[in-house]
Structure 1
Amino acid sequence: MDQTNPLVSKLQTNGNASVVVDMDVLPRKGNYEHSADPAEITDTFGQLLNYCSEAVSTCRSAINHWFNDAIFLALVIAYIIYIVFVIIFDTSTAFWTVVDLIIICLVVIHRFWGIPTVLAHITTPLLKIRRRHCVVSPKRQILAGRVFTASLFLALGVYLIVDLYDEPERLIPLGGLILFLVLMFVTSTAPSKVQWRAVLWGLLLQFIMGIIILRWPPGYKVCKLMGDAVAKFLSFTDYGSKFVFGEKTYTMHVVVFKILPVVVYFSAVVSILYYLGVMQVIIKGLAKLFQYTMNTTAVESFATAAHIFIGQVVSTVALKPFLRDITLSELNAVMTSGFATVAGTVIAAYIEFGVPAEHVITASFMSAPAALAVSKLNWPETEVPRGEEKDVYMNLNVGNEYNIMEAASAGALTAIKLISYVTVNLIAFISLLAFLDYFLSSMGSRVGHPEVTFQFLCSYTFMPLALVMGVRWQDCGKVAELIGKKIFINEFLSFADLGTMIKNDEINERSIVIATYILCGFGSIAAMGINLGAFTAADPSRRQDYAKGMLRAMIGGNVACFMTACVAGILYEGNPFQNMVEMNSNMTTMLNSTSVNGTSLVGNMFNQSSLINGTL
């Protein structure tokens, strides 16, 4: 048989030769030149079916889109009709109904056109008119900006002079604020390169927020209503906890069955807001505010605004594409803002401890510009930033879930990691704290001072720090303990202790407010290791840069919280030494009463020492 013929080949089967003919190369009989190949016919039908299926899918998606829009418009119209009936029924709620209408209009605009697109259509013609008829040289623009900043500082100075005239004791936190600024400037990596615009506007934004919240009655009422609304909103977590853990037993273990479920609930809500695009609008708005007022770059402005809601560990996912190219100053600003703020999901747990909700919410917002100011003062920019603004803001992904139910489920599942982090840290650090207290007490008992504990040392070490922030003297020791626990353990345990102090009425209202602003930040030693691991996982090539600036960023984040507390101490009304005078007068009265009944004084001292021993 011919071995070279491509039509025929041998196949050995069971020792016998068989012939295999290649049918594809055999000549075809008949006229096949004008007939279609069966494979081509199959491909044609397949392409036709693909076109049909694509057309059906397109029509289905369009119908679903129109159907969703119709349902959305129907709900909006129904709610507007409801608002009209509310105004007719009770005219006293007209203000809030107008607020509802404004919110509905913004939601409709964002749903169909997008708020940034509408604003671009409005601002673009105005910018063209300004460029044509209001041409201002760059030098004059810089001069106008400086005059405007100086005018705001002058107005702020006049306001403080008038406001503090009757209560000069509130000048103490003002001195503390200046002290922190001086310390950051002295320890700066390049004092001659400090960007004073960022520092000054950071302070201005802090004072503006503080005046609106703490001194302006309408602003405080709005913030108080928002805090009460958030607290009421979080209280619905109890229904889920009752169903899972039992109605009578879910309050027996407050942290596990009442506090931590709030994190799950709020995490699901935040995930839904991300799916709807609400969080993206808020974060971009705050980032633009920081960028235009403080002249910071897009990366550090975006990171600072994001840290208010999502925390530093989660934000590394969004910042991952930029970590390799950002400068050391930008990296320090990113890390400092992470240490100075707390995530929105954890704020919910702090509120459950009994801390004032309105101050917990505003503390993180006020500390954000302070973090940028501290970072630019402590690590000024000496390089040329390379990040593009449009790339930074586009990196904040909108929720990719299919619907709201999936978004809620994804948010709840995300909280598992956060809950496990909080739980294991509480177990570990409380156990270590108990061991440390035992060790210090045993060492102190050898020299006749068994009362020496970690809280005892912190109460004396950080007492001057609490005093310069405006805490009243008799509360400085307790607030100093909270500061020590925040820095050396974590802020979660400090907020738990603050909630206990509030419930037991151990410190006055002014000290509670200032302590809330002090503790509202992830500025602990343990957080340094967590953030180092998160940044290294995002971009391992800059591990040395992360390790180099982590301690400085942690200190800067705490200083930013301290500056926010100083602003609260300046603006919060009340005499910090009033209660100390009352305490001295009560002590004098008690001492005078010993001349009549000395046994009562001894009994009181015995009861107090028994209480202390029982607490220990």
Structure 2
Amino acid sequence: MDRLFGIFGIIFILFLSFLMSNNKKRISVKTITSAFLLQFLLGVFILKVPLGIKIFQAIGGFIQKILDFAKIGSDFVFGPLTRNPEKLTELFGQNSHIFALQLMGAMIFMMVLVNILYYYGIMQRVVAFLGKLMNKLLNVSGAEALSNLASSFVGQVAAQSLIKPYLPNLTKSEILSSMTGSLACISGGVMAIYVGMGIPAQYLLAASIMAAPGALVISKIVYPETDEPKTMNDIKISRRRTHVNVIDSIAMGAQEGMRVTINVVAVLIALVALIAMIDWALVKFGLFLHNNLHLSQMFMGFDLTNLSMKMIVGKIFAIFAYLMGVPFNESATIGALLGEKFILNETIAYIDLVSIKNIISEKSFIISTFALCGFANLGSIAILIGGVGEMAPKQRKNLSRLGIKALICGTFASYVSACIAGILL
């Protein structure tokens, strides 16, 4: 019965996307069907086929090995602060690890490896091949296929930089699908962080890869192509080296990793503090309603004496969690995580998911891993508009106009992947 809810969830999400469509008559059934079929088959291969399971478990083990190497570097610099987390727990209790230090080593080392792959042209060849394959299979332009595939490996702005020469001439449909792909997937560096937190690598990798065709499914329903894309048949990717030599690429990768780490830490500090302030205001408001207006403590399913943002968004997003296949008694809890990710970011949501891992069912944990995977949050829209707008100034207005739609489309793409996981598991 739970699997049926996953099917209902997909139908519900596609229906909402259809209602949002700006041109329902121009929706390409072939593109939507092909992209969804690819997303579903990827899910089957990764989650049900023994060979696929072994491959992605091996990839997950490889990512974990990379994290082990990153930890060696962190241990050398920070000593016992990263070398003996058990000792910190013994001295200061649970959750006494220093998150920033764990984050820093993984991010810096992963960015270095990505830069090395780019320097030797390996990453460009992989992404270009997969992009051309998607272009042929799904009947989408080379530019949007390439940016969507790249989003599964690199950051949201970095993925768009691969199609920088084509950005000024992208159609609105291409812009939305490219933005959606960037918001529905996560980069390899960020993935390493979440693996280090305790999220299984094979599920994160599966979710990010499945979200690439999923982003095309949703975005092409919401904003069908009505123009003639410049790269409809093919796209050429520049392999010009941007670094002097491999040493330069390593140094630049380390610097980029540090900048990203500082940015993530700064955003986390701000958002966690903001949540605390909003929760304080909600508690005061709830107590006012209870004490002064004499409303009952439990009002419309909300505890007025203990109101919180997580409680409110949990109620709103619980319907999506339930339709993905999450048991009813856990849907509000998972819904709260979905709301956190949408309003704040996926890092905070994953931290909270890990903290309740032993309380919720394994199926709910896996479905949540898929649903939370992606950069689709309010802050990421600003990053995307700023980064891509810098590369293509004349597209800034279109980027701004399509920002909220891209956020919703990216969220829905991840939810469809989660529904597929719920059906298959």
SS of 2:163 mapped into structure 1: helix
Partner of 2:373: 520
For the pair 1:479 / 2:322, whether they are aligned, the reply is no
Inter-partner Cα distance in structure 2 for 1:451 and 1:399: 56
Q: Does 1:540 align with 2:393?
A: yes
Q: Which amino acid is 2:237 matched to? A: M
**Counterparts of residues 498-513 of structure 1 (less than 5 Å):** 498-502=353-357, 505-513=358-366
Within 5 Å, give how 1:373-412 maps onto structure 2.
373-387=217-231, 392-395=235-238, 397-412=239-254
Using the TM superposition, give the Cα deviation of residue 399 of structure 1 relative to its aligned residue in structure 2, in angstroms. Answer: 3.9
Task: Name which of 259, 262, 266 aligns with 1:424.
Answer: 266
Correspondence for 1:275: 119
Match of 1:461 in 2: 316
Q: Structure 1-normalised TM-score?
A: 0.63
1:230 aligns with 2:83: no
Q: Does 1:289 align with 2:138?
A: no
**Aligned twin of 2:300:** none
Mapped pair 1:549 → 2:402: yes
Aligned partner of 2:211 in structure 1 is 367
Cα offset, 1:186, TM superposition? 2.0
Q: Which residue identity does 1:484 align to in structure 2? A: G
Is 1:333 aligned with 2:186?
A: no
Query: Residues 302 and 393 of structure 1 are in contact (CA less than 8 Å); yes or no, is this contact kept in structure 2?
Result: no
Indicate how the Cα distance of structure 1 residues 248 and 334 shifts in structure 2: closer, same or farther if over 3 A, else same: closer
Which residue of structure 1 lines up, in the alignment, with residue 200 of structure 2? 356
Q: Residues 150-184 of structure 1: CA distance to partner in whole angstroms, max 9, x if unpaired?
A: xxxxxxxxxxxxxxxxxx33111101101111111
Measure the CA separation in 2 of the matches of 1:260 and 1:468. Answer: 36
Contact 1:528–1:554 (Cα < 8 Å) also in 2: yes
Q: 1:482 to 1:326 in 2, by over 3 A?
A: same
Name the CA distance, whole Å, in 1 between partners of 2:225 and 2:381.
23
1:192 corresponds to: 25
Identity %: 31
Residue 275 of structure 2 is aligned to residue 433 of structure 1: yes
Q: Give the Cα separation in 2 of the matches to 1:316 and 1:305.
A: 11
Cα distance in structure 2, aligned partners of 1:508 and 1:408: 42
Match of 2:92 in 1: none
Deviation of the 1:490 alpha carbon: 0.6
Are the structure 2 counterparts of residues 545 and 261 from structure 1 closer, same or farther at C-alpha, using a change threshold of 3 Å? same
Q: Which amino acid aligns with 1:301?
A: A
**Alignment counterpart, residue 256 of structure 2, candidates 414, 421, 435:** 414
Counterpart mapping for 1:165-184 below 5 A: 168-184=1-17
Deviations 1:69-94 (A, max 9, x none): xxxxxxxxxxxxxxxxxxxxxxxxxx
Q: Which has the higher Rg, Structure 1 or Structure 2?
A: 1
Kept in 2: contact 1:299–1:389 (CA 8 A)? no
Give the CA deviation at 1:321. 2.1
Q: TM-score, normalised by structure 2?
A: 0.91
Match for 1:462: what amino acid? F
Residues 451-460 or 245-254, more deviating = 245-254
Note the residue ranges of structure 2 that are not aligned, 5 or more in a row. Answer: 89-96, 291-296, 298-303
Q: Using the TM superposition, give the Cα deviation of residue 548 of structure 1 relative to its aligned residue in structure 2, in angstroms.
A: 1.0
The CA deviation at 1:530 is 1.4
One-letter identity of the residue aligned with 2:324 = M
* 2:154 aligns with one of 303, 310, 330: 310
Judge conservation of contact 2:367–2:421 (CA < 8 Å) in 1.
Answer: yes
Deviations 1:457-502 (A, max 9, x none): 1221111110001111222122111101100001111111112222
Instruction: Tell me, yes or no, if structure 1 residue 247 matches structure 2 residue 80.
Output: yes
Q: In the alignment, residue 394 of structure 1 is paired with which amino acid?
A: I
What is the RMSD computed on CA atoms of the aligned residues?
A: 1.6
**C-alpha displacement at 1:394, in angstroms?**
2.4
Amino acid at match of 2:99: V
CA-CA distance at 1:416 after TM superposition: 2.2
For 1:322 and 1:423, the matched residues in 2 are separated by: 33
